[in-house]
Amino acid sequence: MADEKSQKRFGMEIKVKEVVLTEFEKVFGAGDGVRAYFAPGRVNLIGEHTDYNGGHVFPCALTIGTYGAARLRKDRKLRFYSMNFSGRGVIESSLDDLKPGKEAGWTNYPKGVMWAFEQRGMKLPCGLDLLLCGTIPNGSGLSSSASVEVLTGFLLRDFFGFPVTNQDLALIGQYSENHYNGVNCGIMDQFAIAMGKKDHAIFLDTADLSFEYAPIRLKGAKIVIASSNKKRGLGDSKYNERRGECETALAELQKVVKIHSLGELDEEGFLTYQDAIADSVRRKRAKHAVYENQRTLKAVQALKEDDMKVFGELMNASHVSLRDDYEVTGVELDTLVEEAWKVPGVIGSRMTGAGFGGCTVSIVEDGSIDRFIQQVGEAYQKRIGYAADFYVVEIGDGPSRLS
């Protein structure tokens, strides 16, 4: 017997599914063979900018994400429609034109995944019509693009029976993001989405993709996401630059110590070898990668010991490091976090995702959530000049076909 929470969730799923199927008929016409799907968004609790440094991450999938409806075609045409970008109407393409382009807009994400399947020898036998409806705010840092990628991979496997696991779907999504969309992202987002598990976070070692599910039992507290509403385009941001700085720092360290990634060093190791990094800015970047990885290990241990106080302190320290050493926060995220720290009942608060705009994640005691939203919201509006949005979120499962 499903509990009240999952009944509510199931009810919402049916509602969105109906909306998506009705809209699909309106846009692409009636007919048989339409299938509906869902892929979640993700939030990372701790372990930021460690996934391309061979470190650990600790994300979880959310119950908000991307809904999709799709139907195969008899020809090689691709037709896309997003309810989030309805102004753009139907965007047409073809399997013979899987090349990235500015004019393709958001369709670069599903097309990139189709391209990545073909690169792996899995040719798509026919085109399809695809309609999407995202319940994650776009560009908010909750991985709307990775959600679309995993959704696309999932439905291609479902329609064509490609022999790939959910972990492969994550790797295919990342490959498409790296090589089709030009963003050198790590594996965290696609992995968290493809492998999501209700009420669990994923403790993932990005060095070898070994992972473990950790139950998140927040007694008397919830995860609250605050969106800065400052839009962030990963490609435009300094994401690739940060990655390059870490790679250079690693190469400098490798002259004095035998490591494959920054994730192999602990704090002591970093202090011993840091002078090999010639530039002080690069030294700060590498320091963040090393210390953040260690914080993630400690945070997961604290969670196992049910020590939420320590977990929260590590979240706060993560933000400070992202602000001062990695320099990816900015006044919007700093305001949200620094105001959150002032609210009694906030266990921890930090920016989440790539940074440069996007969201913060906070763990807030139930009795303080209203005050948190009001107090942080007012201070943000006053300082930044426009409003932030707040979401009390739940941890959900990975992708699914909606029956």
- Annotated catalytic residues are 189
The residue (of 17 and 323) whose beta carbon lies closer to ligand GLA is: 323
Contacting range for ligand GLA; rule: CB under 6 A; set: 31-39, 43-51, 265-273, 388-396: 43-51
Q: Is 354 in the site for ligand GLA (CB under 6 A)?
A: yes
Contacting range for ligand GLA; rule: CB under 6 A; set: 185-193, 224-232, 246-254, 379-387: 185-193
Q: Is 252 in the site for ligand GLA (CB under 6 A)?
A: no
Q: Is 295 in the site for ligand GLA (CB under 6 A)?
A: no
Minimal distance, residue 158 CB to ligand GLA, in Å:
25
- Which of 225, 228, 198 has its CA nearest to residue 213? 198
Contacting range for ligand GLA; rule: CB under 6 A; set: 46-54, 117-125, 319-327, 329-337: 46-54
d(CA 17, CA 237): 34
- Percentage helix, strand, coil, to 5, in the chain? 45, 20, 30
The residue (of 51 and 129) whose beta carbon lies closer to ligand GLA is: 51
Q: Which strand (E) or helix (H) includes residue 156?
A: helix 144-160
Beta bridge partners of residue 78, listed in sequence order:
93, 128
Q: Is 51 in the site for ligand GLA (CB under 6 A)?
A: yes
Beta bridge partners of residue 81, listed in sequence order:
131
Both tokens assigned to 179: 């090589």
CB-CB contact of 211 with 47 (8 Å):
no
Minimal distance, residue 44 CB to ligand GLA, in Å:
6
Among 129, 189, 325, 334, binds ligand GLA (CB under 6 A): 189
CA 172 to chain centre: 15
The residue (of 68 and 353) whose beta carbon lies closer to ligand GLA is: 353
Minimal distance, residue 76 CB to ligand GLA, in Å:
31
Q: Is 185 in the site for ligand GLA (CB under 6 A)?
A: yes
E-assigned strands of 135-236?
Answer: 200-205, 210-215, 221-227
- Which of 72, 73, 70 has its CA nearest to residue 81? 70
Contacts with ligand GLA by CB under 6 A lie at 48-49, 51-52, 185-186, 188-189, 353-354
